[in-house]
Amino acid sequence: MSTGPSSTAPPVLLALRDVEVLYERAIVALRGVTLQVPRGAIVALLGANGAGKSTTLKAASRLLGAERGEVVAGSILLDGASTAGVAPHRLVERGVAQVLEGRRCFSHLSVEENLLLGAFVRRPSRGALAAALERVYVRFPRLRERRRSLAGYTSGGEQQMIAIGRALMSDPRLVLLDEPSMGLAPIIVQEIFEGVRELNERDGVTFVLAEQNAAVALRLAHHAYVLENGRVALEGDAAALRGRDDMQRFYLGGSDPDRRPFIDPHRVRDFASTSSKENS
């Protein structure tokens, strides 16, 4: 997030420092990832499928264990305090919410019942619960219209709104949003991202947005990191990255036949081989 020469940079809400992740104690997914998320920012994680975007988010939310993954090196800090050993639901209580890739709605429950599930971790009063629901319905008006419908009978875009709304019901400071545009029509993507922008600008919610659609993400984000083969290959101000020639070629639809990856793949293979031996 760019600042003027006399301005004070916002405090860092989330920081990853040299984080390495293994799945099943053998598969290297992240290789020394370092990034930081200032409070009140929208930070984009860009890269192709398999680059490590989802793994980065799950490392931050402590959800790797469900997929036999673990952080084997480095540190993850929330408000300057390590999250090592903190249960995922405790992180939710501390203001971290993740919207997983694929929406993950409960199809047999209504739209409103799905939303209410997101509030239980903080045990709100009836009045606070009603206020939280109203906040979601203001941001996503079509959910109010479908509130009694079964989530399984709603569209993909509506299910993405449900998933984001369910996260908002926990009153988060930080939302980790994984591939929100996947499989959705451009007009629905625009509606969802406009909701994210309003939540950031009006309510101060911080977002980390993992996206393959770099063109859309860079228009929304303040800062961005490009992941490639589990490493941070590039980072910078989102507006500046949007104008780079190599970003245009790799992530915004270019077709240069001589293009090369940001990271030498031979170095990545060497690292993976060494890391696997060290952890065997």
Domains of the chain are 12-95+173-278 (3.40.50.300), 101-171 (no CATH)
pTM over 0.95: no
HEC per residue, the chain: CCCCCCCCCCCEEEEEEEEEEEECCCEEEEEEEEEEEECCCEEEEECCCCCCHHHHHHHHHCCHHHHCEEEEEEEEEECCEECCCCCHHHHHHCCEEEECCCCCCCCCCEHHHHHHHCCHHHCCCHHHHHHHHHHHHHHCHHHHHCCCCEHHHCCHHHHHHHHHHHHHCCCCCEEEEECCCCCCCHHHHHHHHHHHHHHHHHHCCEEEEEECCHHHHHHHCCEEEEEECCEEEEEEEHHHHHCCHHHHHHHCCCCCCCCCCCCCHHHHHHHHHHHHHHCC
| pLDDT tens across the length of the chain (280 residues) | 444 444 577 899 999 999 999 998 889 999 999 999 999 999 999 988 888 999 999 999 999 988 899 999 999 999 999 999 999 999 999 999 999 987 789 999 999 999 999 988 878 788 889 999 999 999 899 999 999 999 999 998 899 999 999 999 999 999 999 998 888 888 888 988 998 999 999 999 999 999 888 888 999 999 999 999 999 999 999 999 888 877 766 655 444 444 445 444 443 334 334 444 444 3
